[in-house]
Amino acid sequence: MTTSNTVKVKLVRSPIGCKESHRATVRGLGLRKLGHVRELQDTPAVRGMINKVSYLVQVI
């Protein structure tokens, strides 16, 4: 059901021990627990957030 203007993001690593700004970015993406998946609008802002915490998340 994914359309071309959305992107699915999954939290695959814990943000514990990371910079506070990176933890805030993960929360801004709406991710709470490990394995949590969110479907977000594919905008430049969201892409930038994903890029910032790319070592914590996976695009599926």
Answer for the pair 50, 59: CB distance below 8 angstroms, yes or no: yes
pTM recorded for the entire structure: 0.90
Q: Per residue of the chain (60 residues), give pLDDT as tens.
A: 555 799 999 999 999 999 999 999 999 999 999 999 999 999 999 999 999 999 999 999
pLDDT value for 4: 73
Q: Which residues contact 42 (CB under 8 A, 6 or more apart)?
A: 4, 5, 6, 7
At residue 2, the pLDDT reads 52
List of domains in the chain: 6-59 (3.30.1390.20)
